[in-house]
Amino acid sequence: MSLREYDRKRRFDTTPEPRSEGSAAQGGRPIFVVQLHHASRRHYDFRLQVGDTLKSWACPKGPSYDPNVKRLAVEVEDHPISYAKFQGDIPAGAYGGGHVDTFDSGVWSTPYDPEAQLEKGHLRFELFGTRLKGSWHLVRSGKPAKQPQWFLMHDKDAYASDVEADDLLDARMIASTRAAAGRSGGAKEVAATLDTRKRKKVPAAGHHASKAGKLAAAAEGAKKAKASAGFFAPELAILRENPPSGEQWLHEVKWDGYRILATVAKGQVELWSRNGLSWSDKIPDIRQAIESLGLDSARFDGELIALSADGQADFNALQKTLSGEANAPLAYMLFDLPFLEGYDLSRTPLHARKGILEALLQDPPAHLSYSTHVVGNGDQVFAMACAQKLEGILSKRVDSGYRAGRGDDWLKIKRVESDEFAVVGYTAPKGGRQGFGALLLAKPAAEGGWHFMGQVGSGFSHRQLLDLSRTLATGGGSKPTVRNPEDAPRGVKWIEPTAVAEVNHRGIGNQGLLRQPSLKTMRADKTPADLRDSDRATPTPAAPRPRASARKRSAGKAAAPAGIAITHPERVVYPTDGYTKQDVVNYYRTVMDWFLPGVIDRPTSIIRYPDGIDKPSFFQKHIPSGGLKYVGSVKLKEETGAAAIYLYPQSAESVMELVQYGTLEFHPWGARVATPDLADRVVFDLDPGPDVSWERVVAAARLVRKLLADLELESFLRTTGGKGLHVVVPLNPPSDWATVKQFAQGFAGALAGIHPMEFVAVSTKSIRHQKIFVDYLRNGRGATAVASYSLRGRPGAPVAVPLRWEELGKIKSGAQFDIHSLPARLKRLRKDPWAGIDELEQSLDKVIGKLGGA
């Protein structure tokens, strides 16, 4: 519906409602307003700004915080933005005649395109008002009606409760309802209900921080102090080219956003920019999130970012959201806590302050997130940040206090991109500068011609300025030589592109122009025609690494190994499913040719279920005192220094002997018995926490694969038979366990540091809610991971199954394959999904060397 419909229904010579003409959005974040409308039938008008209009719905009973309640919302004509401020009386007899009160107003956000969602009939959004908060849904009804009918519902979030809109009316709104009752009999029943209704308050989000307050009181260097709501000067970082080395430094992601400081005094939250300007009204979502922590006093330091639909930081989206051009959710990435609950922590070591902050944010409200860090491994963290095209990292001394201004305790290491551009113009010099001010840059446009990309005025030597002013930045005219001259500054001189400049920059900004460009060099060896040829060329993919042919495998039922007698084959092992011990035996016989290469000659821990999976199980890694006939044994030194006899499968008979003794699960080392101190596997176990969708696990696996590929490491994929996935990196030649563990820990920590809203690298269950645990602990001497094609002791008899990466999009869960479906899958396969894994040549030596030189 357009605003013409709004104008058609009203006579502006009699109604005080605003005209649509001249009512465009004035900039700033998209707003919402809910108005209590005493028309012929009392209702609430629910309005969301989408573009330059207010999308509007009439909601007879008003919004409810109860997720189980669906409130009818009838779509009506769009309203102008100026209607958000309208209150008063619409004349009787006019369209919508009756009194209008503002029930609530504020800003709103959505992670997805609002118009596309409305078109599909399901809008997911958040409200940041005084009375209405949290996550909501508008879902279109499938029933035909004169006016489109929707349902307004609150999500199951921290604000969910039994509070209704009528519970939140103030005295003025109740008086308006009574007045309306006097004019219209239809409102009398509502007015009587309001008189007897027990008043309720806006639900609280329910986050509290008593534990963190106690930690602050006991922290080293903590000092009792009076809280202040005023601005405090932030600590600033010094720019460096490379990250420092050593365990005395921790490394964080340098978030691409706006620095924000937060103060809490007597429960009141104020937000500040780094130069002391108030941002409290600009980002009410962040203010409300901090309020929900229930703190009396605090100081926070962090970065405001915007989140894309896939949960990644997006600087352009942040700029557009704050200006009103977009509506992305915002997040406050907290990395320091110099004051908490009456204690000055500025003299407390950084690692201790961050520990208190992490405890405070163990179960954070929406829009707040702890910015994690990695101690040591700075080169690896920086390399991963560069691979992800993040802005860079911050390196901080782990034992430093919090000091205003710049110092050498905080260092910033920025990722620099470089690209080549045609020079299409120049600006005049200013001040005492000689030659020219800046060179105008352009890239080939897809439709032909050139597209203006910005200007570069720094990085020139004095000689370059003089030389280029004589040879390049001379002459020219006012006729643009690019397709988008409106993006260029005024008063420039345009020239035909004849030269190429290579420029360092920090990515592309909001207007499609280079951010922080600086000249790297003038490319005398190239012409603008080279850029056009390069832009049009299709890159040739790198040739795959050579692989040895995979051995042929038979998916048919293998013959029973001689000498293995199966006792009690009728015993039920999976009670819910009815699978017996004989079914388990048949399974392992069938898959033996596929299963055996993953466990043969590897120290292996087994899990035995002699009485079925509903009875006690037994974890075993040592050869029993009576010995086994077919299972191999090897003496290995344990962490305590003592030696023990470990078991390992050395043949199909070994496997079946262990199955006879009730074994369901096989968990081998990432090393072989001949070289137990050298690892030939690195395993990253992606273990999703509660409420993590399978789609996110899939995306996580693909991201891990990409990051490993950026380090020139090929990886393989396996379902776990549980909730997650394994990403496995073969090593040939193998590496010592110390190197493997250091790499795995650094990789996992860097991944969690770069994507703290998606991953954690610690096993603490309390902080794994809605996140994926990147378990790197399977990469130490003696650690194990489930074998490919191993059964799991869980209902349904699921199996851990190797996959081709191309199959991942078709997989629905980590337990998709089971004792029944897996053999059928193997019959269809033409070759092993992990064909060539043992012949692939790659090692960590090159990777560690590369990171060391990053």
CATH number for 399: 3.30.470.30
Residues 623 and 727 in one domain: no
Question: pLDDT grade, residue 670 (50/70/90)?
Answer: very high
742 pLDDT exceeds 60?
Answer: yes
What percent of the chain is helix, strand and coil (3-state, nearest 5)? 25, 30, 45
- 282-291, 385-394, 585-594: least confident range: 385-394
Residue 564 inside a domain? The answer is no
Least trusted range by pLDDT, from 6-15, 307-316, 667-676: 307-316
* CATH classification of the domain holding 457: 2.40.50.140
Name the pairing type of β-strands 42-50 and 249-253. unpaired
Q: What is the pLDDT of residues 382-432, one digit of tens each?
A: 888 887 778 889 999 999 999 999 999 999 998 877 788 999 999 998 887
Residue 461: per-residue pLDDT: 82
Q: Are residues 267 and 323 in the same domain?
A: yes
* Percent of the chain residues past pLDDT 70, beyond the cut: 91
Q: Is the N-terminal amide bond of 733 cis, ω within 30° of 0?
A: yes
Q: Residue 815: which CATH number?
A: 3.90.920.10
Q: Say yes or no: 394 and 421 in one domain.
A: no
Average pLDDT, the chain: 87
Same domain, 748 and 657: no
In a domain, 634, yes or no: yes
Does residue 848 have a pLDDT over 90?
Answer: no
**pLDDT (average), residues 755-770:** 76
Q: Grade residue 543 by pLDDT with cuts at 50, 70 and 90.
A: very low
With bands split at pLDDT 50, 70 and 90, how would you rate the model's confidence at 726? very high
Res 309 pLDDT > 90: no
Q: Which residues contact 342 (CB under 8 A, 6 or more apart)?
A: 224, 225, 226, 227, 296, 297
Q: Looking at the predicted structure, is the pLDDT value of residue 189 above 70?
A: no
What is the per-residue pLDDT for 490?
87
Mean pLDDT of 24-45: 87
- Residue 610 within any structural domain of the chain: yes
Domain ranges, residue 840: 678-852
Q: Give the mean pLDDT of 719-725.
A: 96
What is the pLDDT averaged over residues 191-204?
72
What is the tally of structural domains in the chain?
Answer: 5
- Please indicate, yes or no, whether residues 186 and 169 belong to a single structural domain of this protein: yes
What sign has the CA pseudo-torsion 828, 834, 839, 840? positive
Mean pLDDT of 494-509: 88
Burial 455-488 (b: 16+ CB within 10 A, else e): bbbeebeeeebeebeeebbeebeeebbbebbeeb
Mean pLDDT calculated for residue range 247-259: 91
pLDDT score, position 206? 67
Residue 560 placed within a domain: no
Q: For residues 561 and 51, give the distance between their C-alpha atoms in angstroms, rounded to a whole number.
A: 72
Is pLDDT at 536 greater than 50 in this prediction?
A: no
State whether 183 and 231 are in the same domain: no
User: Same structural domain for residues 807 and 793?
Assistant: yes
Indicate the residue among 615, 644, 668 that finishes a domain. Answer: 668
Residue 737 is assigned to a structural domain of this protein: yes
Domain boundary among 638, 668, 698: 668
CA angle 229–232–235, rounded 5-degree value: 150
User: Are residues 67 and 175 both part of a single domain?
Assistant: yes
| pLDDT at residue 379, as a whole number | 87
Residues 244 and 372 in one domain: yes
Of 409, 311, 321, 446, give the one whose Cα is nearest residue 366.
311
Query: How buried is 419 (Cβ within 10 angstroms: 0-12 exposed, 13-18 middle, 19+ buried)?
Result: middle
Domain boundary among 650, 668, 686: 668
Active site residues per annotation? 254
Q: Answer whether residue 567 is part of any domain.
A: no
The reply to whether 499 and 439 lie within a common domain is yes
In a domain, 149, yes or no: yes
Handedness of CA 728, 733, 738, 742 (dihedral sign): negative
**Residues 303 and 408 reside in one and the same domain:** yes
- Of 530 and 193, the structure prediction assigns the larger pLDDT to 530
220 vs 27, more confident: 220
pLDDT at 587: 96
Same domain, 401 and 423: no
Average pLDDT over residues 171-179: 82
For residues 463, 466, 471 and 474, what is the CA-based torsion angle, rounded to 10 degrees? 150
* Assigned domain for 696 exists: yes
